[in-house]
Amino acid sequence: MSAQLEITDDIAVLNLGDDENRFSPDWLAEVNGFLDRIESGEAKALVTTGSGKFYSNGLDLDWLAAHSDQGDWYIGQVHQLLARVLVAPVPTVAAINGHAFGAGSMLGIAHDFRVMRVDRGFFCFPEVDINIPFSPGMAAIIQAKLTPATAVEAMTTGRRYGGADAEAAGLVTATAQEDSVTTTAVDLVASLKGKDAGTLQAIKSTMFASVTAALSG
């Protein structure tokens, strides 16, 4: 299944897919298309989630290996998506249904809030163990959302956090059982969906100006 968007009661639920939901160019284009609809006013809040074992496994390393000459363009597209979610004009919650690794975890971090499945799945930045240093933009978005101590541990050790540990470390806002991750996220964002879009985006853009600058650099 590819990404799908459903809007109910002004809340958009963007399902990232039912496989590893890696950031292929086609997947990025599809998700950006859905974000276009949300930014145009079709919804007043956004929840993202997945359907299988993964929320997202991040970068499409197979595609990148086969198209190494397009690496800079590709990372630029990933940065653009992260920045777009970070300063979205609507409240955003990531409903992390399973594993979130690397750029998949960064996508989760880009949301205003995160709800993670409590009993299964890992939230992890494995870059130190797969020999891929963080770009300045990727480092900036993680450090903007985590305490310094958690950022050091998460970024330099490659620790895999289960739901309870992720909540304790501040990586996620809350945890929920498998069958209620998305509904918990929807409930969380429902009370926030009346915010003025222009004001909310301006606030986020000011809060994260240094991050978006790093992501666009």
Q: What is the mean pLDDT of residues 111-124?
A: 97
Count of domains forming the chain: 1
Residue bearing tokens 């992501």: 215
Taking only Cα atoms into account, the Rg of the chain, rounded to an integer number of angstroms, comes to 16
Model confidence band, residue 217 (pLDDT cutoffs 50, 70, 90): confident
> For 124-180, how does the pLDDT look when each residue is reduced to its tens digit (9 = 90+)?
999 999 999 999 999 999 999 999 999 999 999 999 999 999 999 999 999 999 999
Q: What is the pLDDT of residue 147?
A: 97
Read off the CATH number of the domain in which 154 is found.
3.90.226.10
> For 37-93, how does the pLDDT look when each residue is reduced to its tens digit (9 = 90+)?
999 999 999 999 999 999 999 999 999 999 999 999 999 999 999 999 999 999 999
How far, in Å, CA of 97 to CA of 67, rounded?
30
3-state secondary structure the chain: CCCEEEEECCEEEEECCCCCCCECHHHHHHHHHHHHHHHHHHCCEEEEECCCCEEECCECHHHHHHCHHHHHHHHHHHHHHHHHHHCCCCCEEEEECCEEECHHHHHHHHCCEEEEECCCCCEECCHHHCCCCCCHHHHHHHHHHCCHHHHHHHHHHCCEECHHHHHHHCCCCEEECHHHHHHHHHHHHHCCCCCCHHHHHHHHHHHCHHHHHHHHC
Q: Domain residues for 89?
A: 4-216
Q: CA 106 → CA 10, 41, 102, 181, 194, distances in Å?
A: 25, 25, 6, 19, 26
- Contact (CB, 8 A) for 116 and 123: yes
